[in-house]
Amino acid sequence: MGRHVKSPASFVQESSEWVRKPKAIDANLKDYAKACRSFRWKDVEKEFDWHRTKKVNIVHEMLDRHAAGPRKNKVALYFWDPAGRDEKYTFLDLKNASSRFGNVLKKFTIKKNDRVAVFLPRTPELYISILGINRIGAIPVPLFEAFMEAALFDRLENSAASAMVTTPLLLSRIPFKKLPHLKHLFLIKGKGEAAEGLPSGVGVYDYFEEMAKAAIQLTPTWLTADDGLVIHYTSGSTGRAKGVLHRQYAMVGHYQTTKWALDLRDDDVYWCTADPGWVTGTSYGIYGPWTVGASSLVVGGRFSAEQWYEAIQKFEVTVWYSAPTAFRLLMAQGKDLPKKYSLKSLRHICSVGEPLNPEALRWIRDITGIAPHETWWMTETGMQLICNYRSADFKLGATGKPFPGTYAAIIDDKGREVPLNTLGQLAVKTGWPAMMKAIWGNKEKYKEYFRVKGWYLSGDTAYKDKDGFIWFAGRADDVIKTAGERVGPFEVESALVQHPAVAEAGVIGKPDAVRGHIVKAYISLRAGQSPSETLKKEIAEFVKRNMAAHAAPREIEFCPKIPKTRSGKIMRRVLRAWDQGQPVGDVSTMEE
Ligand code: WTA
């Protein structure tokens, strides 16, 4: 790094306000400092059956072993969609349902290591599909429901998924003709729902019909700890979305962080608000909570402040894992609304995805009595790595401290740790349990993360204070975090230049009070096109329709020319300076 931060600035800490904890707090992790001294990942392996049997499959550890013991009839999944579904599934129910789906997949010759895309709204079937895919050792590729054709094409082509689970409504977005690998389609149809535009040359099967015919017994396909678990596509600052492949061994990390950072216990009702289309929704919406045997709530449908508060009240949620943008959206609705609901069941709250600003933290603490705890991690890290812990005092605004058994530091380009309070690249010593196994089909990209020997480079800038807290400062690259979701500028620029009026486009994140950042596009128009508000709307709509709503620019500014280096790279740093009305700095590499 270093090269992005011109002069490593010394930081004077802005806030040293503490969130203090009572001495006798009843948390799974009792003493952070002690755990850092004595904790060993090897010991966590003993919590899993595979440690004795040598037969690995995360679905056995999540479902089958609980279904064979006292948790058999415990609710694993509460599903509530305010639009009309309210269901419960025990560990045994999920074991049976995932076995059925595993049998369905096997019937159509889908096997270990095959990639199966799951493109579904948040429903029980989404969870059952992922569990069924993992049961047979195939690799789920969750695709966020909002993706449109161009985004889907990139991900389906790259993963070469041979099968897909989806609904009739989403079908029209999938470019089957351009995806020769995609051979099997499992359609989840509502009662009497017709499916139009069915592709030819692809086997199309009715999910519910096939499930009804399938046997309820299916021993998991036994794997090794190094075998594949899931592929999540995520964006970098260059190129198309990357497929981050995780391995089965990640469960060791999911399990322990779920115990110590989320602090889950057997009597909890846990609510992770993330969609399994993103890593939080699998690592901590599926793998973590169910390996520890917790009851998990999933709420379907879109964000609504009323329904979120109602969910906490109705299900007596005890542990809540959400994101700063969600907290700020709740905040925007005011304090009278939460007063109408009982939120007293809550005992622990965690936050992820973007920095949690002190205002949002204080606001959530005011309405619930509990301060949200930061957890920092990435798609690539697979698990939480820097956190604030339930039993430990922390500084308001700090990202936290490395999880016991991991080592995070602020380093320069050569891998040297920089002094305290100095900005540098946030890096993690390699070798934690959930570290990604590969970038699917791209060894070079994978290597980039590890170009400083012994370290994983996060791409975030941060500094460390004298008390050992790490403070997130920003991204070192051009990746945009909007409403907690990661957007690559290149993907959006590629979508923009498909529009007939657009000659060139440069995309940046613009600071925003609610969403953290919004996607902003600078656009130069083709000859003969004239700038107008209508055209801006049309262009934004075009990205929404072709790529995904969350990636569409919320702000567009026309400019005569996009600033580029002589080698043709878009200088997004200059765009950011334009946006903020700041000096553009050194532009000696800019083309004439
Ligand atoms: C950002 C999400 C500040 C960061 C699990 C990181 C955070 C990127 C935090 C990864 C946090 C995540 N405080 N920033 N607590 N957590 N980030 O892959 O920039 O969607 O590199 O993974 O989100 O985003 P991703």
The 10s digit of each residue's pLDDT in 22-80 is 988 899 999 999 999 999 999 999 999 999 999 999 999 999 999 999 999 999 999 99
Q: For residues 68 and 81, is the Cβ–Cβ distance under 8 A?
A: no
What percentage of the chain carries pLDDT values higher than 70? 97
Per-residue pLDDT band at 549 (split at 50, 70, 90): very high
Per-residue pLDDT band at 397 (split at 50, 70, 90): very high
Helix H, strand E, coil C: the string for 321-388 is EECHHHHHHHHHCCCHHHHCCCCCCCCEEEECCCCCCHHHHHHHHHHHCCCCEEEECCCCCCCCCEEC
Per-residue pLDDT for 9 more than 70? no
What percentage of the chain carries pLDDT values higher than 90? 92
Atom of ligand 1 nearest to the CA of 283: 5
Residue nearest to atom 24 of ligand 1 (CA): 378
* Residue 220 CA: distances (Å) to CA of 185, 228, 255, 275, 291: 22, 14, 20, 25, 15
Residue-level pLDDT at 1:
36
Q: Among 159, 274, 178, 244, which residue's Cα sits nearest to residue 437?
A: 244
- Which helix (H) or strand (E) segment holds residue 67: the answer is helix 65-67
Sheet with 203-206, side-by-side order of all strands:
139-142, 115-118, 163-166, 184-187, 203-206
- What is d(CA 466, CA 401) in angstroms, rounded to the nearest whole number? 12
Q: For residues 178 and 582, is the Cβ–Cβ distance under 8 A?
A: no
Residues whose CB falls within 8 Å of the CB of residue 478, separated by 6 or more in sequence, listed in order: 237, 489, 508, 572
Going from the Cα of 398 to the center of ligand 1, the distance in angstroms, rounded, reads 14
Per-residue pLDDT for 142 more than 90? yes
- In terms of Cβ atoms closer than 10 Å to its own Cβ (0-12, 13-18, 19+), residue 11 is middle
Apex 124 CA angle, 348 and 300, nearest 5: 60
Going from the Cα of 472 to the center of ligand 1, the distance in angstroms, rounded, reads 9
Residue-level pLDDT at 197:
84
Going from the Cα of 458 to the center of ligand 1, the distance in angstroms, rounded, reads 9
Residue nearest to atom 25 of ligand 1 (CA): 378
Residue-level pLDDT at 14:
54
Atom of ligand 1 nearest to the CA of 479: 19
Per-residue pLDDT for 7 more than 50? no
- What is d(CA 114, CA 140) in angstroms, rounded to the nearest whole number? 9
Of 376, 381, 435, 463, the residue with max ligand 1 atoms within 8 A of its CB, to mutate for a pocket test, comes to 376
Per-residue pLDDT for 409 more than 70? yes
- The average confidence (pLDDT) of the chain is 95
The 10s digit of each residue's pLDDT in 255-280 is 999 999 999 999 999 999 999 999 99
- What is d(CA 437, CA 232) in angstroms, rounded to the nearest whole number? 12
- Which helix (H) or strand (E) segment holds residue 163: the answer is strand 163-166
Cross-strand pairs, 290: none
**Mean predicted confidence (pLDDT) in 425-442:** 98
Atom of ligand 1 nearest to the CA of 374: 15
Going from the Cα of 592 to the center of ligand 1, the distance in angstroms, rounded, reads 37
Residue labelled with tokens 């009739």: 168
Cross-strand pairs, 353: none
User: Per 3-state DSSP, what percentage of the chain is helix, strand, and coil (rounded to 5)?
Assistant: 30, 25, 45
Atom of ligand 1 nearest to the CA of 351: 15
Length of the chain (residues)? 592
Apex 491 CA angle, 329 and 382, nearest 5: 65
Q: Where are the domains of the chain?
A: 49-242, 480-580
Q: Are strands 394-395 and 228-234 parallel, antiparallel or unpaired?
A: unpaired
Residues whose CB falls within 8 Å of the CB of residue 431, separated by 6 or more in sequence, listed in order: none
Superfamily the domain 49-242 falls into: ANL, N-terminal domain (3.40.50.12780)
Dihedral sign from CA coordinates of 240, 245, 251, 253: negative
Residue-level pLDDT at 238:
86
- What is d(CA 355, CA 475) in angstroms, rounded to the nearest whole number? 11
**Mean predicted confidence (pLDDT) in 297-301:** 97
- What is d(CA 387, CA 403) in angstroms, rounded to the nearest whole number? 7
Of 377, 385, 396, 425, the residue with max ligand 1 atoms within 8 A of its CB, to mutate for a pocket test, comes to 377
Q: For residues 453 and 250, is the Cβ–Cβ distance under 8 A?
A: no
The 10s digit of each residue's pLDDT in 158-216 is 999 999 999 999 999 999 999 999 999 999 998 889 888 899 999 999 999 999 999 99
**Ligand 1 proximal residues by C-beta, below 6 Å:** 234, 278-280, 352-355, 374-379, 399, 458-460, 472, 475, 481, 486
Per-residue pLDDT for 4 more than 70? no
Of 322, 378, 381, 385, the residue with max ligand 1 atoms within 8 A of its CB, to mutate for a pocket test, comes to 378
Of 399, 481, 485, the residue with max ligand 1 atoms within 8 A of its CB, to mutate for a pocket test, comes to 481
The 10s digit of each residue's pLDDT in 435-473 is 999 999 999 999 999 999 999 999 999 999 999 999 999
Cross-strand pairs, 510: 518
Q: For residues 133 and 112, is the Cβ–Cβ distance under 8 A?
A: no
Classified as helix, coil or strand, 428 is strand
- In terms of Cβ atoms closer than 10 Å to its own Cβ (0-12, 13-18, 19+), residue 21 is middle
Cross-strand pairs, 428: 408, 456
Of 460, 461, 479, 485, the residue with max ligand 1 atoms within 8 A of its CB, to mutate for a pocket test, comes to 460
Residue nearest to atom 23 of ligand 1 (CA): 353
Residue nearest to atom 10 of ligand 1 (CA): 378
Residue-level pLDDT at 510:
97
Residue-level pLDDT at 278:
97
Atom of ligand 1 nearest to the CA of 380: 18
Per-residue pLDDT band at 6 (split at 50, 70, 90): very low
- Pinpoint the alpha helices (H) of 136-206: 149-159
Going from the Cα of 379 to the center of ligand 1, the distance in angstroms, rounded, reads 8
Residue-level pLDDT at 237:
85
Q: Give me Rg for the CA atoms of the chain.
A: 24
Going from the Cα of 259 to the center of ligand 1, the distance in angstroms, rounded, reads 20
- What is d(CA 111, CA 108) in angstroms, rounded to the nearest whole number? 9
Per-residue pLDDT for 16 more than 90? no
Q: Max alpha carbon distance in the chain (Å)? A: 72
The 10s digit of each residue's pLDDT in 508-547 is 999 999 999 999 999 999 999 999 999 999 999 999 999 9
- What is d(CA 425, CA 462) in angstroms, rounded to the nearest whole number? 6
Q: How far is CA 585 from the centre of its chain?
A: 34
Going from the Cα of 264 to the center of ligand 1, the distance in angstroms, rounded, reads 22
Residue 533: CA atoms inside 13 Å, Cβ hemisphere, count?
A: 0
Q: Please measure the distance between the N-terminal and C-terminal CA atoms of the chain and give it in whole angstroms.
A: 28
Residue labelled with tokens 């959930």: 434
Question: Helices H, strands E: what count in the chain?
Answer: 20, 28
- Which helix (H) or strand (E) segment holds residue 92: the answer is helix 91-107
Q: Which numeric CATH code is attached to 480-580?
A: 3.30.300.30
Going from the Cα of 62 to the center of ligand 1, the distance in angstroms, rounded, reads 26
- In terms of Cβ atoms closer than 10 Å to its own Cβ (0-12, 13-18, 19+), residue 561 is exposed
Residue-level pLDDT at 15:
65
- What is d(CA 104, CA 209) in angstroms, rounded to the nearest whole number? 10
- Which helix (H) or strand (E) segment holds residue 242: the answer is strand 242-247
Atom of ligand 1 nearest to the CA of 474: 19
Going from the Cα of 287 to the center of ligand 1, the distance in angstroms, rounded, reads 19
Structure letter (DSSP) for residue 549: G
> Could you tell me the two tokens for 148?
């449109």
Residues whose CB falls within 8 Å of the CB of residue 495, separated by 6 or more in sequence, listed in order: 150, 542, 543, 546, 547, 551
